[in-house]
Structure 1
């Protein structure tokens, strides 16, 4: 399936709300999905087959070892090359080595061909397998005929060996460049705790996540990750859901509120009734979506599959036709030789390397420019990007809070900051860390406070010399009837009060990256419309968008909403998605081209087609230009690879014999090698 045919993640929100799931929907389901992390899923005529990367690598190296002596002791289509060293019995040595190579190296192709033929859609695997079968078994026949019947039949062991190795190399290059399906799901699983504190009467017992069932009540301590989705049964706490929802501010959760597995509990203990575990949890459905998204085939690969299918039928038709026509005209031996030569000429050496060579060249260029390409299929095909959907926090902004504004009334600045830092010094809250860091940088010593406690949903409170100080939100001041003048700022505002009056106000927010304004201008200059998509509130989103000149803004979006937005814009044109959080992962998987920021979460990086090593956005435009050039090179290589076969197959079959034009097998081999070299050189000529 391609990216535009993914499972609709909007169903996630409905399933996420379900309160009762089956016992089988446990974390064991998620664990089973990880078994594919070391495998690739290779398209075989629309069918999927698991192929272990390590197994493919071993097959390649053993095949290469076996091929080397074959090419030195075996003539190329009857031609002794300068390095060819035959000796008495060398033909039998070659046959033994080729047989070992047949056993070691051909299985992936035969398996793929069987899958294609079962679907009645022969393509690349069938074309390769046909070439392997003909070259090997005809060579065995030639060996036996020449040895025992004293015939003079040409073998194709040289062609067989090189075809196996070149095709294994091509697929190995493609696998290493594209198959990272396990990365995203592995990083998602890392968010979940290994065990959960399950309630049994008045006690709690630690149980592995694979044993969790819906309806269980679990205890989640301060600072722990939730083991599944559920509803708060007891307690109130601040929850960091930024990785999942994109909301940069911690969310207050109380009895009856939903919590998401993998998010982090704040400073209080909660009891949670589980209603979503395993594949039916929020993370489980994210994992399933990301796994399916890795199965995309690029347009160029689809074209290569179609070309291989055409060549398969073309070669087969010409071989059979040549055999039937030449048998009465020139005899059986001549007809067999023509038919075999036709099938050998059809071996897709150049076609098999056409795309993998461009993949490796593209990755090398991008890496030298600070970009890691993970999914070449979508990077190369993103040639007509029209919309750039971008997350705000961590993508357009730096992704961490900074102090933006301070106001002091009736207290010295240093004293106020020292008290604030003293109140926040033990907190792990992002706002608290930002404030403490700011005070430390100003070389102000935090004032030790006593009886410090967290006011869930409001702020923090402590005592100093019998005076109770509170650093809290405006809502706390309203509820406690403390008069204050609201600080006019777009950031998160907290107020320091002694219970009688407001002593200071602080606004904290996320600063815009220095590279962002130029990047937005570059996008517009390239004809790409920037769209900001964020989980933050509309006011904060509009404030950032106005500074950057972004006119299209979507705020308070969930991961499901982001997928819908990507699909909405895809109905208008090709979409690029740039993000850095787990909440961006499904949208990254859905987009035509997805880019993750190097400083972002590993899940986002694993889900993206490309990763920027630095947080700067200035390389994105370079990547788009590279993608367009690489796509052109792939198409050119397909023409070179297929063009040789289209011309050589009829010539080998004797179609032009009436004009005195025949294709000598030796000439065919030379042209075949030249075509492969041209494909390689053309790939190396790729530039940004």
Structure 2
């Protein structure tokens, strides 16, 4: 026999003796490689005429150019991001700056011969914000704010206790001339207690408010800072002039409450971020890359598009791709919520993070890391957590109008009352106008509610495209539930058993003995029904499952094994048919009934015929009835979306 010439695949590089070609005549080892190459060709950007390299350092007109990414902390609003952006933009050697308040990072294009990222860190920190480079110890903004809040709470309680004593001075006997010195002493204590709070909690709010003024877009923090520091300034003036009225408690509690709201906001964001982290933790960080020289275990980010990756049974897919070789069931519940495994054959797509249950695969990579479906889901959740909702943007627009109006009203109030009752009364009334103008309902309650709702949704596994979706839910009148994974919960449970010619107990024992060697969710449900978890502690526990030899997995179809010389087959109807096992008529009618009920049917047989059936299904979540009843009381109509038989679907809808 004359050896055939091996041709390297255009995409993955593996040699093949029987290549297939595309319209351009390029050779590929399999249809999956050809399809991926076509997709990559469609996604490729047009060639550049200016000679700029696609990878590595870029060359600009003014000399070499590099890009660095900074992580940012301590920002309260978009004005903070604008202030950082403008400060960096004015740094010598910096060509362009893009600050994202949503992602809490800044992307800086700069001339490496004229500046260095470490200089920017000092510049940003002088503004009062946090910044660090990749590889630096990360800054936990929520933890830092919590520590400041704890310290501030001590001073806030101190200020309020002393203020209560002054409010009830007559009842405590502090209103007489003999005890006036004690009231003055308490006012000094108030000043001493409120000053650290103004510095610890007030400076970040003042900085955010001033950033809005510099941007010529005053926001809610501008009003809050103006009201709080005006109250503090008036109190200091009255203290040194020996006047009775001081408002240190007003300024302190305003800043303290706003800071609590900001901490709850940060905590909700952190909770949602943990949901993204949990998703990423389930995705393998390494992949088995198949090269012409053999298999290599490499970090996932080093796998290029078009590379061939091996995934063994029981492993999770590290990349998105198309199946080139292999067949088997894949558990996609991590991404789709569907508890029923899906069969994947050559040419079918697979997603990073999903689990190969019983088949080995070779996958042609189409997406890695942030470009995978899992990465896009994480980005959507992260964006929803940090993106301002429409009602919050409305609050900022209203605040931009309210600040000049409030200042004008306060000025007019001061002028009016100064003429009628003197500057002291005028200043007091003007301060009242500023404090009343602080939009606490919009600025604190509304965003706080949104953040808490997003955090709770993230904990429950609900991913929202944007925070504005929560607002639109208020107008929803028709709600459609996806059944699997939403109204139901895993794991599967054995709900029915039917046999033909064998006792049910003996049948279940034989089937469980074979399924005990499988990792399939349906197999685990069968074993759990045959051997409940608490049997080990019972005296009447059933005997151990009999041993199995020659165990074999038939990817996408089932399993088999030998017991006492008899081969036992467990799996799908297709497996029974290919092995020549006859299905008795009574069992065939049972299959039809179970499928109408929405059960997954597992066949089992030996010695040439199917001897029994297993009906497995999902259990409804315990809170389903209560939730649906509450929705109907709110006037929301409820329907169920399911791929089950119509009869089974109507049963769920009822």
Q: Same fold (TM over 0.5)?
A: yes
In the alignment, is the contact (CA less than 8 A) between 2:411 and 2:430 conserved in 1?
A: no
> What is the aligned counterpart of 1:508 among 612, 616, 633?
616
Q: What secondary structure does 2:635 align onto?
A: coil
In the alignment, is the contact (CA less than 8 A) between 1:40 and 1:181 conserved in 2?
A: no
Alignment-derived partner of residue 222 in structure 2? 126
Alignment-derived partner of residue 198 in structure 1? 289
> What is the aligned counterpart of 2:263 among 161, 169, 172?
172
Once the 2 structures are TM-superposed, how far is the Cα of residue 418 of structure 1 from its aligned partner? 2.5
> What is the aligned counterpart of 2:570 among 471, 480, 500?
471
C-alpha change, 1:35 and 1:256, in structure 2 (3 Å) is farther
Once the 2 structures are TM-superposed, how far is the Cα of residue 121 of structure 1 from its aligned partner? 4.2
> What is the aligned counterpart of 2:551 among 438, 449, 452?
452
Once the 2 structures are TM-superposed, how far is the Cα of residue 344 of structure 1 from its aligned partner? 4.5
Cα distance per residue 1:163-194 (max 9 Å; x no partner) = 32233234335554676331321221121123
C-alpha change, 1:445 and 1:153, in structure 2 (3 Å) is closer
Alignment-derived partner of residue 124 in structure 2? none
In the alignment, is the contact (CA less than 8 A) between 1:95 and 1:140 conserved in 2?
A: yes
Q: What secondary structure does 1:129 align onto?
A: helix
Alignment-derived partner of residue 227 in structure 1? 318
Once the 2 structures are TM-superposed, how far is the Cα of residue 512 of structure 1 from its aligned partner? 4.2
C-alpha change, 1:383 and 1:210, in structure 2 (3 Å) is same
Q: Distance in 2 between matches of 1:79 and 1:268?
A: 78
Question: Is structure 2 residue 650 aligned with structure 1 residue 546?
Answer: yes
Cα distance per residue 1:9-28 (max 9 Å; x no partner) = xxxxxx9x95488999xxxx
Cα distance per residue 1:326-363 (max 9 Å; x no partner) = 77x579xx458625641354225995379868999999
Once the 2 structures are TM-superposed, how far is the Cα of residue 97 of structure 1 from its aligned partner? 5.2
Cα distance per residue 1:500-530 (max 9 Å; x no partner) = 3222233322244576467656644543211
Q: How does 1:9-28 map to 2 (within 5 A)?
A: 19=40
Once the 2 structures are TM-superposed, how far is the Cα of residue 290 of structure 1 from its aligned partner? 0.9
Question: Is structure 2 residue 198 aligned with structure 1 residue 107?
Answer: no
Unaligned runs of 5+ in 1: 1-14, 25-31, 365-370, 551-688
In the alignment, is the contact (CA less than 8 A) between 1:40 and 1:52 conserved in 2?
A: no
Query: Across the two proteins, how many residue pairs are aligned to each other?
Result: 511
Once the 2 structures are TM-superposed, how far is the Cα of residue 419 of structure 1 from its aligned partner? 2.2
In the alignment, is the contact (CA less than 8 A) between 2:323 and 2:347 conserved in 1?
A: yes
In the alignment, is the contact (CA less than 8 A) between 1:219 and 1:270 conserved in 2?
A: yes
Q: Distance in 2 between matches of 1:285 and 1:198?
A: 23
Alignment-derived partner of residue 435 in structure 2? 347
Q: Distance in 2 between matches of 1:183 and 1:199?
A: 33
Q: What secondary structure does 2:251 align onto?
A: helix
In the alignment, is the contact (CA less than 8 A) between 2:326 and 2:361 conserved in 1?
A: yes
> What is the aligned counterpart of 2:347 among 251, 256, 266?
256
Unaligned runs of 5+ in 2: 1-35, 45-53, 56-67, 83-100, 105-139, 175-180, 453-458, 533-540
In the alignment, is the contact (CA less than 8 A) between 1:523 and 1:529 conserved in 2?
A: yes
In the alignment, is the contact (CA less than 8 A) between 1:241 and 1:250 conserved in 2?
A: yes
Question: Is structure 2 residue 145 aligned with structure 1 residue 56?
Answer: yes
Q: What secondary structure does 1:128 align onto?
A: helix
Q: Distance in 1 between matches of 2:622 and 2:183?
A: 70
Q: Distance in 1 between matches of 2:373 and 2:449?
A: 38
Once the 2 structures are TM-superposed, how far is the Cα of residue 70 of structure 1 from its aligned partner? 5.2
Alignment-derived partner of residue 579 in structure 1? none
C-alpha change, 1:288 and 1:41, in structure 2 (3 Å) is farther
Question: Which structure has the larger Rg?
Answer: 2
Q: Distance in 1 between matches of 2:69 and 2:529?
A: 44
Q: Distance in 2 between matches of 1:406 and 1:340?
A: 81
In the alignment, is the contact (CA less than 8 A) between 1:235 and 1:254 conserved in 2?
A: yes
Cα distance per residue 1:413-470 (max 9 Å; x no partner) = 3333222112111111011111112222594753322111001121111223443222
Q: What secondary structure does 1:193 align onto?
A: coil
Q: Distance in 1 between matches of 2:441 and 2:40?
A: 52
In the alignment, is the contact (CA less than 8 A) between 2:187 and 2:246 conserved in 1?
A: no
**After the TM superposition, which of the residue ranges 280-289 and 316-325 deviates more from structure 2?**
316-325
Q: Distance in 1 between matches of 2:74 and 2:497?
A: 54
Q: What secondary structure does 2:477 align onto?
A: strand
Q: How does 1:272-671 map to 2 (within 5 A)?
A: 272-295=363-386, 311-322=402-413, 329=419, 334-335=422-423, 338-339=426-427, 341-348=429-436, 352=440, 383-441=474-532, 443=542, 445-484=544-583, 485=585, 486=588, 487-488=591-592, 489-490=594-595, 491-498=599-606, 500-512=608-620, 516=624, 520=628, 523-524=631-632, 526-534=634-642, 538=643, 540=644, 542-549=646-653
Q: What secondary structure does 2:519 align onto?
A: coil
C-alpha change, 1:524 and 1:373, in structure 2 (3 Å) is same
C-alpha change, 1:234 and 1:373, in structure 2 (3 Å) is closer
TM-score (norm 1): 0.62
**After the TM superposition, which of the residue ranges 46-55 and 199-208 deviates more from structure 2?**
46-55
- Structure scoring higher RCO (CA < 8 A, sep ≥ 6) equals 1
